[in-house]
Chains A and B, each alone.
Chain A
Amino acid sequence: MPIAYFATVIGLLALGTGSLFLGAQDLSLPQVWQDPGALQLIAISRLPRTLAALLTGASMAVAGVIMQLLVRNRFVEPGTTGTNEAAMIGLLAVTLLAPGLPLFVQMLVAAAAALLGTLGFLQLTRRLPPQQPLLVPLVGLIYAGVLYSVATFIAYQTDLIQYIGIWMSGEFSGILAGRYELLWLAGILSILVYFTADQFTLAGLGRGLAVSLGLRYGQVLSLGVATVSMVSALVIVTVGTLPFVGLVVPNVVSRMMGDNLRQSLPVVAGLGGGLVLACDMLGRVIRHPYEIPAGTIFGVLGAIVFLTLLLGRRSHV
């Protein structure tokens, strides 16, 4: 266990440092001491960008693992449960009906819509036979697809279609100091999850068992759904959502160290943050001086990892 923590910390430090010196404009360590412009570049752009990628990846991975425990299915994440799509509908509504509201209020509306969308998904899955675990993500994808069509239709009718593209493809090139701070809230929510980790692990053992051990299942379910909705909305309004983060990262960590959240959550968050940052860094170098969105790169790599996991999985689900 300590090895996993150790590796996570070392990996994050290395990536974080590398990210500060990587970009369209070359920077080297000596410059930072001599050139005030270099320091400013780091403070205004590189550091916020690095932190934004870390916070986004970490909180999306945490949201994914919560969703998986609450639905008791390894193949769900906010991107396959209608959560993100509902948040977008909420954002469209607030953009159309009450333009000019502060970003924080927009985010709250998006979170409320995401909550409704997620509850709708939970209602749907309640009717599915538990023996068919793959039905859950399939139904989720269809449900998310329907919500996505609604969002696209509204956006198309109202000339807001470019927003959908921005919300759906997470990228960090536009991140500057002052434009990402909402993400700290997502980070704080993830830390709060850590303090209730045992309760989520218990809920993941199933309602019957959890209740018989005295867990207030309804409360934990509400807390989890609210957290997932908030995190999704926060990520969408700041950087846009990234596919597969919430799906791949918890699955990889579960393989390595199981589902006891108290042990695995730090690694889930660390790996999520690290991978998203790594994808963002890759995106900066592949077509230097142009950039490829981190979401695009994660989409490709994540799909490969996920297929490997799916095909390589043993009899259990």
Chain B
Amino acid sequence: MIEISNLSYSIAGQQILDGINTHLQRNQITALIGPNGAGKSTLLGAIGRQVDINTGQIKIDGEDLQNITPQDQARLMAIVAQHLHVGSRIRVVDLLGFGRWPHAKGRLGPQDHFIIQSALAQFDLTDLENRFLDELSGGQRQRAFLAMAHAQDADWLLLDEPLNNLDLKHGRSLMAHLRQMVSEKSKSVVVVLHDLNFTLAWADQIVAMRDGQVVFAGPTTTVATSEALSDLYQTPIELLNLNGHFFAQYHR
């Protein structure tokens, strides 16, 4: 479990995270939702130690994040950031090889190659494995980074808007894959989602944020109500029940 207590972060006099208290459960898909600028990416970055928090504490399974070595952390959690601008000309297969860095430190064994090949297949990249990253489309690049995080084989997967550039097929296949990772490999997933229908369809838990604070959090089935979501996004959202599945209607 990841426990976040009194987490605050400010930069240039602007309060971006404001006293966050929440927890993220193991073996669940947790959707981090909320309007633009809510602080979702910053919170994910704080958990992944990409941003240095000003005050507060983050614990993983009772251990303070500060006391975990970078290498242990890399085995504990894999992160795919929202913005993936990489200037280097790196081949897809080499990128996935770097995903094995926390385990193999650059000396890839048969086991590592097997994991890399299955990650390539899982994310539909086998034909692209020798392409350079700067020769891929946005969605393909996104999949390459997701495949790398998969190859990292960490307990926690932290994904920031992974559906951004993905088409319908790959978006759905990603969520199904995450579900499978959770149920079959006991992984834990925290994912920033903007599409409420994906959230309703796949997330076990929701943490909703606005203005650097957690507005509500809990199991999807109890907290995802029309009122709560409408209030969160400050826009009318209707929930429709179709054969027991909930759908959000906010398009018009």
Contact = CB atoms under 8 A, between A and B. Distances in A.
Q: A and B from one assembly?
A: yes
B139 interface: no
A205 B152 contact: no
A259 B143 CA distance: 20
B87 interface: yes
B50 A202 contact: no
Interface stretch (B6-14, B98-106, B234-242): B98-106
Interface of B: 45, 48-50, 69-75, 77-79, 81, 85-91, 94, 98-99, 101-102, 105-106, 132, 134, 152
Contacts of B134: 314, 316
Interface residues of A, number: 28
Interface in A196-242: 198, 201-202, 204-206, 208-209, 211-216
Nearest to A314: B134
Interface of A: 69, 72-74, 130, 133, 198, 201-202, 204-206, 208-209, 211-216, 254, 258-260, 262, 314, 316-317
Contact of B75 (A204, A206, A214, A216): A214
Given A74-B87, A258-B90, A212 B101 contact: no
B86 A214 contact: no
Chain A interface helix/strand/loop/mixed? loop
Given A208-B81, A212-B74, A260-B94, A69 B101 contact: no
Contacts of B89: 254, 258-259
Nearest to A202: B98
B233 to A, nearest CB: 28
A258 B105 CA distance: 20
A309 B165 CA distance: 30
A212 B91 contact: no
A201 B101 contact: no
A214 B106 contact: no
B101 A205 contact: no
B87 A214 contact: no
Contacts of B90: 201, 205, 258-260
15 contacts: A72-B88, A130-B85, A198-B105, A205-B86, A205-B98, A206-B85, A212-B74, A212-B77, A213-B74, A213-B98, A213-B152, A214-B71, A214-B73, A214-B101, A314-B134
B166 to A, nearest CB: 20
Given A72-B87, A74-B87, A204-B88, A212 B98 contact: no
Contact of A213 (B86, B88, B91, B101): B101
A187 to B, nearest CB: 23
A208 B50 contact: yes
A258 B91 contact: yes
Given A69-B88, A214-B72, A258-B91, 7 more contacts: A198-B106, A206-B86, A209-B86, A212-B48, A212-B77, A214-B70, A314-B134
